[in-house]
Amino acid sequence: QLAESGGGLVQAGESLRLSCVGSGFEMNYFDMGWFRQAPGEEREGVSCILATDNSQYYLDSVKGRFTISRDDAKNTVYLQLLNLKPEDTAVYYCAARSKWRGTDAQAMCVETPEHWWGRGTQVTVSS
């Protein structure tokens, strides 16, 4: 099970830190990621991090503003969101996939049937 928290309503330029706590599994065996879905849009991979070497992938539009990290001892993955923009408004979902299923961090950020999902947390950025 994955449980996201940390979303909210902020103004453009402000920051948020999203957290995703895993339960029922050991996160160190899983690649982790954050996806988002804006109204009327497809869900897209925002940032992903591998279990083996912590290598990371970022969507071009968030590079330099978002940072993903993981603490396997706490079974938690984070997404730091800086300098938020109205176009970042979306429901943000945490995802996990067995590290044996993947190849690289960018591949982890492509949705597959093997991904596990949290329920999401809403991020709303006003202009």
- Tokens 């503003």 sit on residue: 65
Mean pLDDT within 53-64: 97
**Measuring CA to CA, how many Å separate 21 from each of 27, 39, 88, 90?**
9, 25, 22, 20
pLDDT tens column, 63-103: 999 999 999 999 999 999 999 999 999 999 999 999 888 78
Tell me, what's the pLDDT at 96?
A: 97
**Does the structure show a pLDDT above 80 at 10?**
yes
Query: Minimum mean pLDDT among 22-31, 41-50, 98-107: which range?
Result: 98-107
Q: 93-107 in b/e burial notation, b at 16+ Cβ within 10 A?
A: bbbbbeeeebeebeb
Q: Bridge partners of 20?
A: 4, 77
Tell me, what's the pLDDT at 107?
A: 95
User: Per DSSP, which regions of 72-126 are E strands?
Assistant: 76-81, 90-98, 116-117, 121-126
Please state, for a pLDDT cut of 90, what percent of the chain lies above it: 96
Mean pLDDT within 32-61: 97
- Tokens 């996201």 sit on residue: 4
Could you tell me if 102 and 108 are in contact, meaning their C-beta atoms sit under 8 angstroms apart? yes
Mean pLDDT within 97-114: 91
Q: Determine the Cα–Cα distance for residues 71 and 117; give it in Å rounded to an integer.
A: 18
Mean pLDDT within 58-66: 98
Radius of gyration of the chain (CA): 13
